[in-house]
Structure 1
Amino acid sequence: MNVSHEITLLVQEIQRLGNKNADGQTSVKFGVLFHDDRCANIFEALVGTLKAAKKQKVVNFQGELLLQGVHDNVDIILLEN
């Protein structure tokens, strides 16, 4: 899969699993994405896809690298719908 296609899939999964925050943006916890069975089947490297999406300003989250367990409560915010 190419990166832009994976980012498109990531946006769809964030919309499926996320909720609107106070600013009207869709956000989801990293742990919710990481532990979702559908996401596990779609993304070989979820963390890499998130990093690429952040670099392209599609999503935003605190930090550079998210690790399962440690960063499960970090919000991933969708910047474009």
Structure 2
Amino acid sequence: MNVSHEVSLLVQEIERLGSKNADGQTTVKFGVLFNDDKCANIFEALVGTLRAAKRKKVVQFEGELLLQGVHDNVDIVLLQQ
């Protein structure tokens, strides 16, 4: 799969699993995204897709690398639809 396609799939999954914050942006916890069965089947490397989406300024989150368990409560904010 190409990166742009994976990022667009990521946007769809964040919209499906996330909720709106006070600013009207869709957010989802990394743990929710990581532990979702559908996401596990779609993304071979969820962390890599998230990093690519962050570089393209599609999503925003604290830090560079998210790890399961340690970063489960980190908010991933969708910047572009």
TM class by smaller structure: over 0.9
CA distance in 2, matches of 1:80, 1:52: 14
Q: Per-residue deviation at 1:27?
A: 0.3
Gaps of 5+ in 1: none
CA distance in 2, matches of 1:22, 1:45: 30
- Partner of residue 33, structure 2: 33
- Partner of residue 4, structure 2: 4
**For this pair of structures, how many residues does the alignment match?**
81
Taking the TM superposition and a 5 Å limit, the aligned residue runs for 1:1-81 are: 1-81=1-81
Letter in 2 for 1:19: S
Letter in 2 for 1:34: F
User: TM-score, structure 1 length as denominator?
Assistant: 0.99
Letter in 2 for 1:9: L
Gaps of 5+ in 2: none
Runs of 4+ in 1 over 6 A off after TM superposition: none
Q: Per-residue deviation at 1:22?
A: 0.7
User: TM-score, structure 2 length as denominator?
Assistant: 0.99
